[in-house]
Amino acid sequence: MSQTQHGSTDGTLAQRPGLPEHAPQIEGTTAAPTLFENPGLPPHVHRLADTDPKAAKRAERQVAALFTLSILGTLVFLVSYFAVDPQTPVYIPLIGRTLLQNFLLGLGMGCGIFFIGIGAVHWAKTLMPDEEVVEERHYLRSTAADRDGAVQALQQGGEESGIGRRPLIKATAAGALGLFGLPFIVALRDLGPLPGDRLSRTMWKAGMRLVSDPEYGPIRAEDVTIGSVFHVMPEGIDKVHDKLEQKAKAAVLLMRLDPADIKSTKQKAWGYQGIVAYSKICTHVGCPVGLYEQQTHHLLCPCHQSTFDVTEDCKVIFGPAHRPLPQLPITVDTEGYLVASSPFHEAVGPSFPERGHR
């Protein structure tokens, strides 16, 4: 369509230095000179099935075999669904001991679906025509006549609806449609409520007995021997209505150490003769810190490996936690059972913005 805009008007580029003398010109709209011949599409390579009828027959048999495998897979599924007892175990190499029906259902359905696809693709690749075609790129913009016609139809529709002439309809329609959006906005309240002080308070109160999880039996001080670990909940936690939410905050780990090993006086004072109770909720992200290493007196959180030293008031000695585990002050009641002497003195678990202020 247009010539190159550099140099000569006769179309040759021989004057430009560095270019070969007979460089052909390709029509285009860019200003850049052409430097090579457009290779065009590579010559079409015919498949075996196109040229050799025996290969075509072979490909047809292959496709048929693949579809047959799919049929067999589906039949395996159907038969094993009804005929195999779901409890039957079976040993399969590389998998181990598993349930026979599960295995057959999976194998059957898997083969059923897979070989339909493989068969179809193989059919398309070997037997269906694969000549290259050029797809025209049509203009997306509609014709002027179509656009005018659309506008006119809309205008006509608007007039015919009569909304302009009937203000009562207009008003009530506007009211109905407008009001209809309100429930969705009002329902945004369900994103809340804000927790208030629920993050800062646990179920623990003064005088509440420590009971073991999951049996909920009370614990005597002399039952906790050195090296023991009791997983503890507050008494009555199985009866509250939001049990899981309370359990997630109130979990406590009870350990007994030799009082001579405890280096912190506050820890000794809040414990009872070497028995100490700490919140089980990690101060990092909130996993239960249950891994007590009896010999080293370290508490390990399995999630991110925060390590707390129980002899030093559960101070963090390794890992991403920044605050020590909160200690629950304990004592014994008149019958000798361990009770909390006060609630936790700080919020348990991970940090949050209002911590310490609410």
Partner 1 sequence: MTALAARRRHPLALVLLIALGLLATGAAYSALAPKAASAATTSTQDIAAGKKLFLANCASCHGLNAQGAPADNRGNIAGPSLIGVGAASVDFQVGTGRMPMAEPGPQAPQAVVRFDDKETAQLAAYVASLAPGPQIPTAEEASGEGGDAAKGGEIFRVNCAMCHNYAGAGGALTRGKYAPALDNTSPKHIYEAMATGPQSMPVFNDKNITPENKKDVIAFIEASRELPHAGGSSLGNLGPVPEGLFTWIVGIGALIGCSVWLGSKAA
Taking the complex as a whole, the smallest distance from the CB of residue 132 to partner 1 amounts, in Å, to 12
273 or 294, CB closer to partner 1?
Answer: 294
Taking the complex as a whole, the smallest distance from the CB of residue 40 to partner 1 amounts, in Å, to 19
**Helix (H), strand (E) at residue 279:** strand 275-279
Taking the complex as a whole, the smallest distance from the CB of residue 227 to partner 1 amounts, in Å, to 4
267 or 307, CB closer to partner 1?
Answer: 307
Question: Does 350 sit behind a cis peptide bond, omega within 30 degrees of 0 on the bond before it?
Answer: no
Distances (CA, A) of 167 to 172, 199, 237, 270: 9, 55, 63, 77
Contact 324, 254 (CB under 8 A): no
Complete edge-to-edge strand list for the sheet that includes strand 327-328: 252-256, 275-279, 327-328
128 or 179, CB closer to partner 1?
Answer: 128
**302 Cβ neighbours under 8 A, 6+ residues apart:** 287, 290, 291
318 or 352, CB closer to partner 1?
Answer: 318
- The whole-angstrom separation of Cα 309 and Cα 133 is 74
- The whole-angstrom separation of Cα 11 and Cα 31 is 13
Taking the complex as a whole, the smallest distance from the CB of residue 82 to partner 1 amounts, in Å, to 19
Binding positions for partner 1, rule: CB under 8 A: 45, 47-49, 55, 59, 89-90, 94-99, 102-103, 106, 121-122, 125-126, 212-215, 219-220, 223-231, 255, 288, 290-296, 298, 300, 302, 305, 307, 318
Partners of 107 in the beta sheet? none
Taking the complex as a whole, the smallest distance from the CB of residue 70 to partner 1 amounts, in Å, to 16
196 or 227, CB closer to partner 1?
Answer: 227
Question: Alpha-carbon torsion 346, 350, 351, 353, what sign?
Answer: negative
Taking the complex as a whole, the smallest distance from the CB of residue 303 to partner 1 amounts, in Å, to 10
Contact 341, 312 (CB under 8 A): no
257 or 328, CB closer to partner 1?
Answer: 257
- The whole-angstrom separation of Cα 115 and Cα 108 is 11
Contact 253, 292 (CB under 8 A): yes
Coil, helix or strand at residue 91: strand
Contact 268, 256 (CB under 8 A): no
Distances (CA, A) of 134 to 41, 130, 276: 11, 12, 80
201 or 231, CB closer to partner 1?
Answer: 231
Contact 210, 219 (CB under 8 A): yes
Q: What is the CA radius of gyration of the chain?
A: 40
68 or 294, CB closer to partner 1?
Answer: 294
128 or 134, CB closer to partner 1?
Answer: 128
Taking the complex as a whole, the smallest distance from the CB of residue 298 to partner 1 amounts, in Å, to 6
Taking the complex as a whole, the smallest distance from the CB of residue 220 to partner 1 amounts, in Å, to 7
219 or 237, CB closer to partner 1?
Answer: 219
Contact 308, 326 (CB under 8 A): no
Q: Which of 185, 327, 347 is nearest to 254 (CA)?
A: 327
Taking the complex as a whole, the smallest distance from the CB of residue 55 to partner 1 amounts, in Å, to 8
Taking the complex as a whole, the smallest distance from the CB of residue 253 to partner 1 amounts, in Å, to 10
